[in-house]
Amino acid sequence: MVASQGRGIVRVLALFPMNMSRLSFIAASAALLCAASSAALAQQAYPATLAGHAVLPALTMIAAPKDAPHDLQVAGKFTTPRRVDAVGSVMGQSGGRDTGVSLPFQGQPIQGHSGIKRMADGSFWILTDNGAGSKANSPDFMLHLSHYTVDFKSGQFNRHKTIFLHDPDKKIPFRITHEGTSSRYLTGADFDPESFQFAGGALWIGDEFGPFLIKADLNGKVLGVFETQVDGKTVRSPDAPGVLMPGAPDAKPTAFVVKRSKGYEGMAASKDGSKLYALLEGALWNDDAKAYENVGGKQYLRVLEFDVKTEQWTGRHWKYVLEANHHAIGDFNMIDASMGLIIERDNGEGTADKACPEGQKRTDCFHDLAKFKRVYKVEMSDANVGGEIRKVGYIDLMNIQDPQRLAKKPLNNGVLTFPYFTIENVDIVDSTHIVVGNDNNLPFSSSRDPNKADDNELVLLEVGELLRAK
C-alpha cells in the first residue's frame, strides 16, 4: 500500500514545475507517507512464545491483620442487596454462568491482580484491586499488595509479604469505612486501586473512584491523596466524594467527566522515578462537544504526567487512541525513557471451542468470546506531548506459541490463549521477555471454563522482536 502510494506521488510530481507549489506538494506527500507508514506499522503483529507459566489458585486466601476490625475477617458479605453472613452461601456468576466459587470468603482473597512490577532481584510486587468491583459491594475487602517470587518452571507463587493500606494519620480528606479505628485499614469502599509504582522512596497507587493518586510509605501507610487535574481543572468520577445525586428530580446532578470504573487502570513511571504517567481507562467527557474525547471518531485515553518531587500534575499529557471505542486498557509500564507497554482489550471472555451456538446465551458456554487481547509497544516522548502516542506494534495474547509445551492450562488449536475478560498486568523482564497476568475478578470471571472461576495466572513471554521494534 505504501509503495504504491509512493509511485503515485512520483508520477504526480512530474506535473509540477520545481517551484514553491511543488515543494509544498512534496512536503504534504511526505507527511502522508509518514502517516501511512505509521498506521501500517501500528498494526504489525509480532510473535509471542511461552517461556514459563505460573498459576495461583483462585481460592487463595490470607488472614486479615490481628489488629483489623472483626468485620474484615470475612470478605464479601455485601455483594447482594441484603447482607449475607454465612460463608460460601452466595454463588459467584460470570455472564449469568455459575463459577463454582461462593461468597462470602473466610479471610481476604489474594485475587484481583491489577498491577505488577518486576524488581531488580527478579521478584514481583502485585497489586490486588478493591474486591468485588464497586464501592457499594466491597466495604469488607481490604486493600493490599503482595511481594512474590515466581517459579515459572514449576508454576508456583511464593508469597513473602503482604502490605495492607492504612491511614492512621488521617491523610485521606474524607470519611473512610473504618474511620473510628486506630489502624484505619482501607477497604474497597474507600478506593479502587488499579495501578502502582515505586518512585521517590514511596509507593504510589492509581485509584479509579476519584480518580485519585495515593502516596504511601513502603509499609502501606498513606502519606497523601491527590485529586486529578486535567487542563488545570479537577476532574471526577461519579464515585468521587462530593459528586452527589440532587435532592429533587428536576435539579441538575453534580457534573463529572470520568466514567465510573474508568480511572487509573494503568500507571507507568519514568526510568529515573521522577515522573508518573497515569493512564485513564476511559475517555473523558467533553461537555461542550457532547462527546467523549476522540480523534476522528476514535476515543482516546489521557496519560497524565505527575512530578514526584513537587507532587504536582505537570499539565502535560499524551493521547492513547483505542482501536475500538468499546475497548479498555489493562496496564502500563515503561521499557525505557520513551518506549512502553500497554495492554488493550475487548470485553469478551472464553474460546471458540466452548462457545454457545450462534445467537444463544446459555449457562454452560461462552456467548461473548475473547477476540482482541493485545500488548502494544508504544512510544511517548517530548516530541509527541499533547499528541497521539505512537503504536509501534503488538503481540496477540490469543495466539501465544508454545513449542516446548510449557503451558499449565490446555492449548487451543496448538497455541496458548489468554482469553480473559480483564488482563491487567504487564511489565518488562529483560531485553527479550515480558510478563503478563490476568485479573480473575473472584468469583465473577470464568474465562477458561464456562463454569469454573478463573485462577490468577502469569505468563512469561519471549517477545524479542517486539522489544527490538522501532
Q: What angle do CA 186, 276, 273 make, to 5 degrees?
A: 105
Mean pLDDT rounded to a whole number for the chain: 93
Secondary structure, 3-state, 392-414: EEEEECCCEECCCCCCCCCCECC
What's the mean pLDDT in 395-400? 99
- List b or e across 313-325, with b for residues whose CB sees 16 or more CB atoms inside 10 angstroms: beeebbbbbbbee
Is the domain of 240 the same as that of 381? yes
Give the number of other Cβ atoms within 10 Å of residue 372's Cβ: 16
Which pLDDT belongs to residue 17?
44
Domain extent for 22: 1-42
Which pLDDT belongs to residue 10?
37
Which residues are within 8 A (CB) of 131 and not within 5 positions of it... i.e. 6 or more apart?
75, 76, 109, 112, 137, 138, 140, 141, 187, 188
3-state secondary structure of 58: coil
Residue 52 above 80 pLDDT? yes
Residue 41 above 70 pLDDT? no
What's the mean pLDDT in 112-135? 98
Is the domain of 163 the same as that of 253? yes
* Total number of domains in the chain: 2
Is the domain of 99 the same as that of 69? yes
Is the domain of 69 the same as that of 146? yes
| Residue in 47, 54, 63 with CA at minimum distance from that of residue 123 | 54
Residue 274 one-letter amino acid: S
Residue 6 above 60 pLDDT? no
- Is residue 33 very low, low, confident or very high in pLDDT (cuts 50, 70, 90)? very low
The CATH number assigned to the domain holding 133 equals 2.130.10
Q: Is the dihedral of CA 252, 253, 257, 262 positive or negative?
A: negative
What's the mean pLDDT in 204-216? 99
Which residues are within 8 A (CB) of 11 and not within 5 positions of it... i.e. 6 or more apart?
none
Is the domain of 290 the same as that of 320? yes
Give the number of other Cβ atoms within 10 Å of residue 215's Cβ: 20
Residue 349 above 50 pLDDT? yes
Is the domain of 393 the same as that of 294? yes
Is the domain of 34 the same as that of 90? no
Which pLDDT belongs to residue 221?
99
Question: In sequence order, what E strands does 325-372 have?
Answer: 328-334, 339-345
pLDDT digits (tens, 9 = 90+) for 76-95: 999 999 999 999 999 999 99
Is the domain of 93 the same as that of 217? yes
Which pLDDT belongs to residue 40?
43
Is the domain of 172 the same as that of 286? yes
pLDDT digits (tens, 9 = 90+) for 10-25: 333 343 444 444 444 4
Cell of 419: 482469553
The share of the chain scoring above pLDDT 70, in percent, equals 91
Task: Indicate whether this model's pTM tops 0.85.
Answer: yes
Contact at 8 Å (CB) between 345 and 373? yes
Which pLDDT belongs to residue 43?
76
Give the number of other Cβ atoms within 10 Å of residue 116's Cβ: 23
Which pLDDT belongs to residue 168?
98
What's the mean pLDDT in 127-139? 98
3-state secondary structure of 446: coil
Is the domain of 63 the same as that of 34? no
Is the domain of 103 the same as that of 21? no
Is the domain of 411 the same as that of 457? yes
Rounded to an integer, what distance in angstroms lies between the CA atom of residue 236 and that of residue 172?
16
